[in-house]
């Protein structure tokens, strides 16, 4: 019986040479580490060293998260990945009325440099690579990280890591936006310029399809809308006067890995090929690093189930394998209990061990791009590429990513895909083990990790103490300078850093920018 891929593309029962009739290996494949990078962005890939094992973690207070980071490092994590709570993601202090009930729940609460200092206490920032999943207030968290590093005696030029900083996907799929698109893009361009001058090894943006996939996007939609956002960011930076080769090598991407291994591998290969061509042909990039689509992968949280949660261990292993076979540069494997609550220490360790088994006990790292030339993979790569380019053209026809967002195009397309998946699952056409087949009559009890609700009061006390101790006149002066820069064309990160160093809070800095730039309100088209 014929099957369809997650993108709705046909999967034939058998593939042979006819699937690749007229197919040119030199054009479609090239060599690993060379244009069009279908086979990977580096010549040796994992034969020289494995991908970066970067576990996403953060909850409660900075003290609790710091303890988890140290445990992950001790267990072999190569890079940290910080989860922030919703108030921090939205640019609100923990004692703001709007933050009530959300402090420390889905990530760590960071209100000021005091919290950031605790979060990375005892962690040498010149030795670890840190990714921060933060978007609208990304500049603030990066500057706080830089300030803490300076206190450790670590110069900014030695810092390595990534800020997600991808606000366009927030308008499409996730919702943690603050400012309207135009000033948000201006802020991103300022970050590009600042990092080139001050933190040259930092990845300034992680253009994310992961959250679109979590909202229901198909693989083709995931990479189409992500690459369209990437094009918008490049155009913004070029329009701000930057040369493409001055910032493009520091761009990175963030994708999901589903359980459908074959299409996921094809998706990653197609994404690399499309991006290389766009950067070369549309933007005239000359530096080979500007053409490389380097990406982080996270296994699919949306595919985890609260029913029979131990089965998620198998799902995550399969998803992690798909990411590795697809050529990811770094990987986070979800914990099996994340559909229920925050992961426990044991489940977080098991998630990391999953990556270590893939890296050190299998043979997938012994050769570069093991699927190259496979009839099915190469045909599926071509099919995903064609479907992706069709969607990208529709975004272009609407005037680019921002205009398409304002028309509700990407959001509507993703919602249609999510509805199709839900219908297929409800009808039993899409099997979810433990949910619509192979259920248990009674689920086994499981004790999840819970965040102490007293954290909100503790953070409020810390903020009250901070405001009582600091030089308020210095804070007011720094915030006034920030607003002046936001009103004009100066780079806002320099006065922003001064304000944070004076112990202005995340909420105060974001409120200063809200006064100048306003806040984003979705249109009726959404």
Say what angle helices 181-198 and 493-501 make with each other, to 10 degrees.
Answer: 80
Asked, for residue 505, whether it belongs to a domain, the answer is no
Dist. CA 164–CA 120, nearest whole Å: 19
Q: pLDDT tens per residue, the chain (526 residues)?
A: 579 999 999 999 999 999 999 999 999 999 999 999 999 999 999 999 999 999 888 999 999 999 999 999 999 987 899 999 999 999 999 999 999 999 999 999 999 999 999 999 999 999 999 999 999 999 999 999 999 999 999 999 999 999 999 999 999 999 999 999 999 999 999 999 999 999 999 999 999 999 999 999 999 999 999 999 999 999 999 999 999 999 999 999 999 999 999 999 999 999 999 999 999 999 999 999 999 999 999 999 999 999 999 999 999 999 999 999 999 999 999 999 999 988 988 999 999 999 999 999 999 999 999 999 999 999 999 999 999 999 999 999 999 999 999 999 999 999 999 999 999 999 999 999 999 999 999 888 888 778 888 999 999 999 999 999 999 999 999 999 999 999 999 999 999 999 999 999 999 999 999 999 999 998 754 4
152 and 501 in contact (C-beta within 8 Å)? no
Q: Could you tell me which residues come within 8 angstroms of residue 222 by beta carbon, excluding any fewer than 6 positions away?
A: 209, 212, 213, 255, 256, 267
Asked, for residue 495, whether it belongs to a domain, the answer is no
pLDDT of residue 525: 41
Listed residue (484, 505, 508, 510) closest to 495, CA to CA = 484
Domain count, the chain: 1
Q: Could you tell me which residues come within 8 angstroms of residue 155 by beta carbon, excluding any fewer than 6 positions away?
A: 149
Q: Residue 311: helix, strand or coil by DSSP? A: helix
Number of H helices, E strands in the chain: 21, 11
pLDDT of residue 526: 40
Dist. CA 426–CA 418, nearest whole Å: 12
> What number of CA atoms fall less than 13 Å from residue 83's CA on the CB side?
22
Q: Give the dihedral sign, CA 393/396/401/402.
A: negative
Dist. CA 11–CA 400, nearest whole Å: 31
**Maximum CA extent, the chain:** 74
Listed residue (256, 107, 238) closest to 185, CA to CA = 238
pLDDT of residue 444: 82
H or E element at residue 367: none
Asked, for residue 153, whether it belongs to a domain, the answer is yes
Asked, for residue 159, whether it belongs to a domain, the answer is yes
15 and 379 in contact (C-beta within 8 Å)? yes
Task: Name the token pair of 234.
Answer: 């490049």
Which structural domain, as residue segments, surrounds residue 263? 3-426
Listed residue (52, 6, 44) closest to 298, CA to CA = 52
Q: What is the CATH number of the domain that holds 331?
A: 3.20.20.240
Dist. CA 172–CA 69, nearest whole Å: 31
> In sequence order, what are the beta bridge partners of 84?
108
- The residue written with tokens 């899409």 in the block is 430
Asked, for residue 516, whether it belongs to a domain, the answer is no
Task: Name the token pair of 22.
Answer: 């007229």
4 and 11 in contact (C-beta within 8 Å)? yes
Asked, for residue 431, whether it belongs to a domain, the answer is no
Q: Could you tell me which residues come within 8 angstroms of residue 402 by beta carbon, excluding any fewer than 6 positions away?
A: 168, 181, 185, 232
CA distances for 472 relative to 138, 335, 493, angstroms: 24, 43, 20
pLDDT of residue 245: 98
Q: Could you tell me which residues come within 8 angstroms of residue 240 by beta carbon, excluding any fewer than 6 positions away?
A: 186, 189, 192, 193
Phi, psi (deg, nearest 5) at residue 161: 160, -165
Phi, psi (deg, nearest 5) at residue 298: -125, 140
CA terminus-to-terminus distance, the chain: 38
Dist. CA 84–CA 165, nearest whole Å: 13
Phi, psi (deg, nearest 5) at residue 293: -90, 100
Task: Name the token pair of 27.
Answer: 């054009």
Q: Residue 435: helix, strand or coil by DSSP? A: coil
Residue 399 CB neighbours (<10 A): 11
CA dihedral 350→352→354→359, nearest 10 degrees, is -150
Instruction: Please calculate the CA angle 463-469-475 and round it to the nearest 5 degrees.
Output: 80
Q: Are strands 52-57 and 79-83 parallel, antiparallel or unpaired?
A: parallel
Dist. CA 204–CA 489, nearest whole Å: 20
Asked, for residue 487, whether it belongs to a domain, the answer is no
Dist. CA 321–CA 430, nearest whole Å: 21
Q: Residue 332: helix, strand or coil by DSSP? A: strand
Q: Could you tell me which residues come within 8 angstroms of residue 468 by beta carbon, excluding any fewer than 6 positions away?
A: none
pLDDT of residue 1: 52
Say what angle helices 493-501 and 138-151 make with each other, to 10 degrees.
Answer: 60
89 and 135 in contact (C-beta within 8 Å)? yes
Asked, for residue 53, whether it belongs to a domain, the answer is yes
């Amino acid at each position: 019986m014929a099957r369809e891929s997650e993108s709705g593309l046909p999967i034939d029962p058998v593939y042979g040479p006819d699937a690749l009739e007229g197919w040119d290996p030199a054009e479609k494949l090239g060599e690993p580490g060379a244009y069009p990078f279908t086979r990977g962005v580096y010549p040796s890939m994992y034969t020289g060293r494995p991908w970066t094992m970067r576990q996403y973690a953060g909850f409660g207070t900075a003290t609790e998260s710091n303890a988890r980071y140290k445990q992950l490092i001790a267990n072999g994590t190569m890079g940290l990945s910080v989860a922030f709570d919703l108030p921090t993601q939205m640019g609100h202090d923990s004692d703001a009325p709007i933050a009530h009930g959300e402090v420390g729940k889905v990530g760590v609460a960071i209100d000021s440099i005091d919290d950031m200092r605790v979060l990375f206490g005892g962690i040498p920032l010149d030795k670890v690579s840190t990714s921060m999943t933060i978007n609208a207030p990304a500049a603030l968290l990066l500057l706080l990280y830089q300030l803490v590093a300076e206190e450790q005696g670590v110069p900014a030029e030695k810092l390595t890591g990534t800020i997600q900083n991808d606000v366009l996907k927030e308008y499409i799929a996730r919702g943690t936006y603050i400012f309207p698109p135009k000033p948000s893009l201006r802020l991103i361009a300022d970050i590009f310029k600042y990092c080139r001058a001050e933190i040259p090894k930092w990845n300034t943006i992680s253009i994310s399809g992961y959250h679109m996939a979590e909202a229901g996007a198909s693989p083709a939609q995931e990479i189409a809308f992500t690459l369209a956002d990437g094009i918008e960011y490049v155009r913004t930076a070029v329009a701000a006067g930057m040369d493409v080769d001055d910032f493009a090598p520091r761009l990175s991407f963030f994708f999901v890995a589903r359980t459908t291994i074959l299409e996921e591998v094809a998706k990653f290969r197609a994404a690399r090929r499309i991006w290389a061509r766009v950067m070369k042909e549309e933007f005239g990039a000359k530096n080979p690093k500007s053409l490389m689509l380097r990406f982080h992968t996270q296994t699919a949280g949306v595919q985890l189930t609260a029913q029979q949660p131990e089965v998620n261990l198998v799902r995550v292993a399969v998803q992690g394998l798909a990411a590795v076979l697809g050529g990811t540069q770094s990987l986070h494997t979800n914990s099996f209990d994340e559909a229920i609550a925050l992961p426990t220490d044991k489940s977080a360790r098991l998630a990391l061990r999953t990556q270590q088994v893939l890296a050190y006990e299998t043979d997938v790292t012994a050769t570069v791009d093991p699927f190259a030339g496979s009839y099915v993979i190469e045909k599926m790569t071509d099919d995903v590429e064609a479907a992706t380019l069709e969607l990208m053209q529709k975004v272009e026809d609407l005037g680019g990513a921002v205009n398409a967002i304002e028309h509700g195009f990407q959001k509507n397309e993703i919602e249609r895909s999510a509805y199709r998946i839900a219908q297929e699952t409800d009808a039993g056409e899409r099997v979810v083990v433990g949910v619509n087949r192979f259920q248990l009559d009674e689920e086994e009890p499981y004790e999840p990790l819970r965040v102490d609700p007293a954290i909100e009061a503790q953070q409020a006390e810390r903020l009250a103490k901070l405001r009582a101790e600091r030089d308020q006149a210095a804070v007011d002066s720094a915030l006034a300078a920030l607003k002046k820069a936001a009103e004009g064309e100066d780079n806002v990160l320099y006065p922003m850093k001064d304000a944070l160093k004076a112990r202005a809070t995340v909420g105060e800095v974001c409120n200063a920018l809200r006064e100048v730039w306003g806040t984003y309100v979705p249109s009726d088209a959404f």
